[in-house]
Amino acid sequence: MSGSLIEIGLGATSLSLIIAVASMILAFLSLHRGAPSFLHAARHGMILIAVLTTIGCFTIIWSFVIKDFSVLYVAQNSNSQLPLLYRLTALWGAHEGSLMLWLWYLATFSAIAVFVHWKSHPLSMPYVIMTLAGLQIGFMVFILFLSNPFIEVHPALPDGKDLNPLLQDPGLAFHPPTLYMGYVAFSIPFAFAIAALARGQSGREWVVTTRRWTLFAWVTLTSGILLGGYWAYYELGWGGYWAWDPVENASLMPWLTGTAFLHSIMAQDQRNLFQTWNVFLIITTFALSLLGTFLVRSGVLTSVHSFAADPGRGAYILLFLIVVSVIAYGLLIWRGHRLIGPHKVSNLVSRESALLYNNLLFVAAAIIVLTGTLYPLAIEVLTGERVSVAAPYFNKVMAPVMLGIVLLMGIGPLIPWRKSSYTKMQKQFTIPIGLAVLISIVSYFLGATDIIAMIAIGLVGFVLASTSLDIIGAVKAHRQVTDRSWLSSLSVLAGNNQRRYGGFIVHLGTLVLIIGVIGSAFFKEESTVNMKPGDQVVSGPYTLTYKTIVPQKGPNYSERMAFFDWKKEDGTTGTLTPSKRNYPVTQTVTTEASILSTLVGDLYVVLGNEHGKGEVTTRVFWNPLVNWVWIGWMIILFGVLFAMTKRAPKIVSTPNKKPTKEVLV
């Protein structure tokens, strides 16, 4: 009965492969035969693929819902006792389903992009469809032939193996799909960039058109990464949210180049600069997204994300990565010169040169992360030895680059395009610089003895001050001509200029996030102690007293829960209950941290081993300002949404450089 359902999913996905091949061929033929009906058919194909892959995903999810253990993927990643929420999210609990989700995003975004940009970009459309269909084919072949989630086993297995307990957490339930969404959304600007390259069309058209896609991709990738950190912090129980693990790095690399891209397309939009560079950035961002998938799924790197590794699959993803990069970078090398416009960055102190420095720093950061991530692999391939590059390398090398980026954040948006003058800048930045120095010195006396921390705190003050002064100046000027109140003046300004003020909000969110990072990186306290009932330990402003440990029972696990009383300096009290859970089906033990979370900081308690008579090893962390990281993220989300409310100006396809026949009528 249900067996036939999963077969429908398999059938739908197989059919979508055939349609994708057909769409690609039709889009290609439409270029040469000039038959608009071919391109129309290809468009219908793209929309049909989105429908078919939706059916494919749905049949897997439904098999999880009805606990159909005749589906191998369901049996391997769920269990009859698994709660419904996690049966729903088990789709991306392992390799096969994750890729299906990837494909579904790609198919859906492709269909939306083709539909939305159909009228305005008739000349780019054949190339866009060819690119997107090509990417879809790559994933469909992989899914159908090498990692098929639709495989059935007969007779059905009596019960499933259960989902990896680490994934049984709401934070993680949403981390992978958000991250993938960010990765995949970059495929749309990528496809338009390929079209621009293929057509040798150098205008601002493709960056303006895909601006919202880029913002969307950027904000989902940002959220995916932060959700991962959030999950690591609350679920993994080691007291932090970022560990420079290879898989984390794999998601950070496209974020860094994507952020560079997000900034540099402004220069192409406003001043028609950096055309080739922007194409390079988006190709690199998308290639790094694929590389992220490759690194995670092939098992080439050793990581805490120990997914089932399979060299056959790894070889396929590598091949796919090679095909995509050879075609994309090959086009760039072959055709890139046709994009170069007549303009140049003419002045060292101007908005465009600030964007240039911003880009150099972001790309440098991406190279640093890439090097650190691949170094162990290179060493092992060359010498056979196993090494790992850990946090100290990344922290040391990345800190100055990041500080440079923060500095630019306080200057770039405030200086004009084309040319600024030193006297003007002096006027603009004297007060903020003075303030920054003052804040740094004060922070030293308040306990920021680390030089990096001091500079970072000063820079945050600098950016806040310079940006506020700029906004205040604008509001003042506006009030002089309109006679409005301060607040309404500000809202009119922001409402007329969503992109600029959206950007300011995102920058503000980033500053809040950075404050959280500074607090938790430089001022955290950590202690590991063996505690007997009645013992006390001091952490931050809290005194923690260990009471007792007792066994408890959960729906699909049993646990040992410890009770700690905390007392703050100001006299408030409460209880924390960290525990260790044992999931019998998968034979996994997880530690559940117990966290007292406030705006000032988190008191974070994790259990280690028990030593009998209630004695237990306890790790206690005082993590200042961690919540600011998540608050910063919320502000960033709001800022991007605000910036996205600005519609892209209607742009009609500019004609190709080399005259080609008009394709559409």
- Binding region for another protein (CB under 8 A): 72, 75-76, 153, 157-158, 161, 202-205, 272, 294, 298-302, 309, 311, 314-315, 318, 321-322, 325-326, 329, 332-333, 336-338, 340-342, 374, 377-378, 380-381, 587, 651-652, 654-655, 657
Pairing of strands 601-610, 525-531: unpaired
Q: Closest distance between another protein and the C-beta of residue 27, in Å?
A: 25
Nearest to 467 by CA among 424, 497, 511: 511
- Residue with Cβ nearer another protein (13 or 76): 76
- Residue with Cβ nearer another protein (204 or 507): 204
- Residue with Cβ nearer another protein (613 or 661): 661
- Residue with Cβ nearer another protein (476 or 657): 657
Which residues neighbour 553 within 8 Å (Cβ) at sequence distance 6 or greater? 559
Q: Closest distance between another protein and the C-beta of residue 158, in Å?
A: 7
- Residue with Cβ nearer another protein (70 or 627): 70
Distance CA 260, CA 408 (A): 13
Which residues neighbour 283 within 8 Å (Cβ) at sequence distance 6 or greater? 190, 193, 194, 325, 328, 329, 332
- Residue with Cβ nearer another protein (298 or 440): 298
Q: Tokens at residue 463, please?
A: 């950016």
Nearest to 303 by CA among 289, 316, 292, 318: 292
Q: Closest distance between another protein and the C-beta of residue 31, in Å?
A: 20
- Residue with Cβ nearer another protein (272 or 347): 272
CA 511 to chain centre: 18
How many CB atoms lie under 10 A from the CB of residue 328?
22
Q: Closest distance between another protein and the C-beta of residue 236, in Å?
A: 19
Q: Closest distance between another protein and the C-beta of residue 302, in Å?
A: 6
Q: Closest distance between another protein and the C-beta of residue 159, in Å?
A: 8
- Residue with Cβ nearer another protein (146 or 469): 146
Distance CA 601, CA 258 (A): 31
Q: What are phi and psi of 224, to 5 degrees?
A: -60, -45
Distance CA 194, CA 329 (A): 10
- DSSP 3-state helix, strand, coil percentages of the chain (rounded to 5)? 65, 10, 25
Q: Closest distance between another protein and the C-beta of residue 557, in Å?
A: 15
Q: Closest distance between another protein and the C-beta of residue 307, in Å?
A: 10
Nearest to 186 by CA among 341, 314, 273, 291: 291
Distance CA 342, CA 332 (A): 18
Q: Closest distance between another protein and the C-beta of residue 496, in Å?
A: 23
Q: Closest distance between another protein and the C-beta of residue 585, in Å?
A: 8
Distance CA 163, CA 630 (A): 27
- Residue with Cβ nearer another protein (154 or 613): 154
Buried/exposed code over 379-406 (b: 16+ C-beta within 10 A; e: otherwise): eeeeeeeeeebeeeebeebbbebbbbbb
Q: Closest distance between another protein and the C-beta of residue 602, in Å?
A: 33
- Residue with Cβ nearer another protein (204 or 580): 204
Q: Tokens at residue 434, please?
A: 């003075």
- Residue with Cβ nearer another protein (224 or 246): 246
Q: Tokens at residue 413, please?
A: 């948006």
- Residue with Cβ nearer another protein (586 or 598): 586
Q: Closest distance between another protein and the C-beta of residue 651, in Å?
A: 7
Residue recorded with tokens 């009645």: 534
Distance CA 355, CA 267 (A): 8
Residue recorded with tokens 């505690």: 531
Q: Tokens at residue 465, please?
A: 């001050």
DSSP three-state, residue 120? coil
Distances (CA, A) of 401 to 106, 261, 323, 506: 33, 17, 32, 19
